[in-house]
Structure 1
Amino acid sequence: MSTPTDGPPVRPAGRSSTPHIDPKGVEIAETILLPGDPLRAKFIAETFLDDARCFNEVRNMLGFTGTYRGRPVSVMGTGMGIPSISLYTHELIHDFGVKNLVRIGSCGALQEGMELYDIVIAQGASTDSAYVRQFDLPGTFAPLSSYRLLEKAKRAADQRGLRAHVGNVLSSDIFYNADSEVNDRWRRMGVLAVEMESAGLFVNAAAAGVDALAIFTVSDQLITHAATTPEERQSAFTGMMEIALELV
């Protein structure tokens, strides 16, 4: 695979730039993978993509476009939390015409029997965030993923022999929670794992009529307290990355 470069433009994007994304003429593909960590985006581009070019360095939120098995695909970091991913995905959807957005990240497992490196595919994302309130809906909106992408992802995981759990996750605004029993209450409702971004992604996708999915690797087991290292979270979650690339 080729190393990302700042080579010549592929072709002009739909819009030249936004306050947070400046592609400098490099195309952003209709399908994009969205890790939280920009260094994970760089790793994916270097490891899996051919002819990768850097399309964003604003605030060091690295983004790259290349090809995977001859098909164009982009990958870009989104930072941590619903405000950050919602900002970037809004611009990617509305200013650059992205149609398929696949979050790939780490999560903390809430259920017994889930182990480190298991795959979690989010069918829906419960949340303690107020993000959806801006749409002034007459009830409670359930942020859901694209079933089209979900079905493909589960099939790809099964074909690779990876243990994949499909269901509800929690997108929380709070990492260090003052309520010591909060995980137990979500666990009793069958929520598989906790992370911090997917509900914002799913809401933005629903409002724009595009497809979104979130795929995770279990980095922490919140019952047994087993955990992976920062280095492993950056580059060792290749099974999740390969599943996401099958959606291109």
Structure 2
Amino acid sequence: MGIALKELLACLDEELQPGLFKDYCPNGLQVEGKSVVRKLVTGVTACQALIDKAVEMKADALLVHHGYFWRGEDAVITGMKKRRVETLLNNGISLIVYHLPLDAHPELGNNAELARLMDWNTEGGMEPGKARSIGSWGTVSQPMTVTDMEKHLEKVLGRKPLAISGGDHAIERIAWCTGAAQSMIDKALDLGVDAFVSGEISESTVHFARENGIHYFSAGHHATERYGVQALGGWLEKKQAIEHQFVDIDSPV
């Protein structure tokens, strides 16, 4: 049981199509480890706690949504970054990262998984004309009040969202984009939806929602992005016959 690292990366690239995106970090292999992958650990962010858990579990590769080498980040490998990379290299663990391609995948992505969990019907993407859009829009299974949606998000995601009311109207049409996508609320407004859900919120988002009559929910960056990487890991386990385990290192953001 196991797959060559190069074959695993080719399989992931074929499925996630990173070439379609202008991303904020390199997608694919960021740190090279063992040449054969038998055990894969997945998680949201390649923090030290997740890496240490991967070492404990004797993983050959770590697949995450948030890795390293972000645009504008200092390129030197010192301090926290040095400790993380050193732990990976010393234990032969590859770090594999897919950011926007994982958000946008139509079946395994963060937005697709959020819709499945919340029982939302996806009608289209928030970026018309793009082969794979960041963010989706659609309809809820039945009309909901702001309070109803707030309770539903908390029940499904295990985290109380911050709800900003945009008026008295019910929620039937909804748009969503996981993670730090609060700035996409203007695209949601253009789509004519009743509400928009993202992971994080900015101060200006509150006033935008109130003044434009659109309900807004900040449901948590980590809370909304736990599910795509799990789905991807499960898909790989079935397709490539490797062992997979998801590890959740909680974050309140």
Q: TM-score under structure 1 normalisation?
A: 0.32
Point out the structure with the larger helix share: 2
TM-score w.r.t. the length of structure 2 is: 0.32
Q: Which has the larger radius of gyration?
A: 2
Identify which of structures 1 and 2 has the higher relative contact order when contacts are C-alpha pairs closer than 8 Å and 6+ apart.
1
